[in-house]
Structure 1
Amino acid sequence: MTIEDPRAALLDAGERLIAERGVDVPLREIAAAAGQRNNSAVHYYFDSRGGLIEAIVERRMNWLEERRMGLLAHYETEGAAHEIRTLVAMLAAPILELMGAQRVTHYGRFLEVVRAHPVIADARRLAGADRAAVRIIAVRLDAALPQLPPRRRRQRLETMATVMFALIADYERALEAGARTADPDGDAAEIIDMIVAMLTVPVREATPGGA
C-alpha cells in the first residue's frame, strides 16, 4: 500500500486510536494503523508521543480558528456577536462541523482523553485559548455573565471546555454505537443549550448549616 502523505496518515491513526484506547496506546500500533512498516515512524515524524498529540491538536485548531474568525465576522454584522448563546455556539459548533466538513469522527473523544496529558497542561489550551478567536470569545463570555460573582464566573468559564469536550465525546460515541441518528443542527443546538445552562444557572445561596 502506498501512503501519499505518511504524516497525515499518522495523525489520523493517532487521533482515532488515542480516542478509542487511551493516551498510552503503543506507538507501533499507531504506525501500523497508518500503513507504516517502520515501528519508529511516530518518532521519525513527531519525535515523541507528546509531539504527536501536539500535532493532532494543532492540525484541528488551524481549521477551527479560521472557522471561528469567520463566524465572529458574520455575527458582528448581525449584531449578535456579544450574545451568550452565540458565543458558546462559536466555540462548540465548529468542532461538530468537523464531522461533516472533514468527516472527523474521533476528535471529541481524543480531546477528552488527552486533556489531562502533561504536554497539554490544561483544557483551555485544547480549546484554543491561545488563538485570537477564542480569546475574543472568552473575553465576551466573561462580560456576558455580569450576574455571577467573579470567582464563580471564572470557575464556570474554566470548566466550560471540559464540559464541552465531554458532551461532544458522548455524542460521537452515541453516533458510532447507533444509539442516535445524526441531526447536525438539532444536535449542535442541544449541546450548546446544555453548555449555556451550565454557565448561566443562578448561584445557589448557602443555607444555614451548609444544607
Structure 2
Amino acid sequence: MTSPDARQLILLAGERTIAERGPDVALRDIAVAAGQRNNSAVHYHFGSRDGLIVAIIERHQPALENRRTALLADHEASGAADTVAALIAILVRPMFDVPYTEGSTHYARFLEQARAHPAVGGPDLHEKRWHATRVLVARLFKAMPYGSPAIKRYRLQAMSTVMFALLADYERQEFGGETDRITVQDNILAMLVGLLTEPVTTD
C-alpha cells in the first residue's frame, strides 16, 4: 500500500483545519498540518484557497452523487410516491457514511464552515455537476405540501442550513453503539422532514 502523496495529505489536512478553524485559516497552517515543509504547498497543488475548497468537495461529491443516484433508481423502481420523507432520506443518508469510507473525519464540519462558498451552493450545483442533488431538490419542491413558491424556496434554504449543522453535530458525537447511531440518524431525517412539511399555525 502506497503512502498518501502531498496533494492527498493537503486535502485531508485542509478539510480538518477548515472544519476546526474556518475557511479563512492561513494556508501555511494547512501546509504545516499536512506535514509539508514548503509553506506554498497549497498554492502549488491547488492554485488558491478557493481551489483547495473546490478540490475537497470534488473529492467526495462523485461518490455521494453515485449513491444518491442508486437510491433514487431504487425508489423509482419500487413505484413509491415522491414523499418529502422518501426524498430527504435519499438526499441525506449518504452523508452519514460515504465521506468516511474515503478516509475523511471532518467532512460534515468542513461543509458547515464552507457552505457559503460557491463550490458548495453555487451555479454548478444547479446547472452542471450535481445532477442527483438537483433532481432531488426539484422533487422536494414539488412534494412540499404547503406554501407559495417563495415560501417553499425559503424552507428549502432553511432546511439546507439546518442539515449542515445537524450533520456536523452528528460527526462530533461518540455513539455507544450502532443502535444509538441509527436512532440519531433517524431523528435528523425526521427533523429535516418537519422543516419542509409542518404547517404554520395561528394559535
Fold shared, TM-score > 0.5 on shorter chain: yes
Count of residue pairs the alignment pairs up: 198
Letter in 1 for 2:42: V
Give 2:38's aligned residue.
38
Following TM superposition, by how much is the alpha carbon of 1:161 offset from its aligned partner in structure 2, in angstroms? 1.4
Following TM superposition, by how much is the alpha carbon of 1:102 offset from its aligned partner in structure 2, in angstroms? 2.9
1:181 aligns with 2:180: no
Give 2:52's aligned residue.
52
After superposition, the Cα gap between the structure-2 partners of 1:24 and 1:124, relative to the gap in structure 1 and judged at 3 Å, is closer
Following TM superposition, by how much is the alpha carbon of 1:99 offset from its aligned partner in structure 2, in angstroms? 5.4
Give 1:194's aligned residue.
191
- Retained in 2: the 8 A contact 1:124–1:158? no
1:124 aligns with 2:121: yes
1:136 aligns with 2:131: no
Two-structure CA RMSD over aligned residues (Å): 2.3
Following TM superposition, by how much is the alpha carbon of 1:204 offset from its aligned partner in structure 2, in angstroms? 3.0
1:172 aligns with 2:162: no
When normalised by structure 2's length, the TM-score is 0.87
Following TM superposition, by how much is the alpha carbon of 1:86 offset from its aligned partner in structure 2, in angstroms? 1.3
Show structure 1 runs of 5+ residues with no match.
none
Secondary structure of 2:52's match? helix
When normalised by structure 1's length, the TM-score is 0.84
Give 1:155's aligned residue.
154
- Retained in 2: the 8 A contact 1:31–1:39? yes
Q: Report matched runs for 1:81-100 at 5 Å.
A: 82-98=82-98, 100=100
Letter in 1 for 2:189: I
- Retained in 2: the 8 A contact 1:127–1:161? no
Show structure 2 runs of 5+ residues with no match.
none
- Retained in 2: the 8 A contact 1:81–1:87? no
Secondary structure of 1:146's match? coil
Supply the distance in 2 between the matched residues of 1:108 and 1:127 (Cα, whole angstroms).
20
After superposition, the Cα gap between the structure-2 partners of 1:182 and 1:163, relative to the gap in structure 1 and judged at 3 Å, is farther
Q: What is the aligned-residue identity percentage?
A: 48
Q: Report matched runs for 1:59-78 at 5 Å.
A: 59-78=59-78
Deviations along 1:33-63, one digit per CA (max 9) or x if unpaired, are: 2221111110001011111011111111111
Displacement over 6 Å in runs of 4+:
none
After superposition, the Cα gap between the structure-2 partners of 1:6 and 1:20, relative to the gap in structure 1 and judged at 3 Å, is same
Letter in 1 for 2:156: L
- Retained in 2: the 8 A contact 1:61–1:128? no
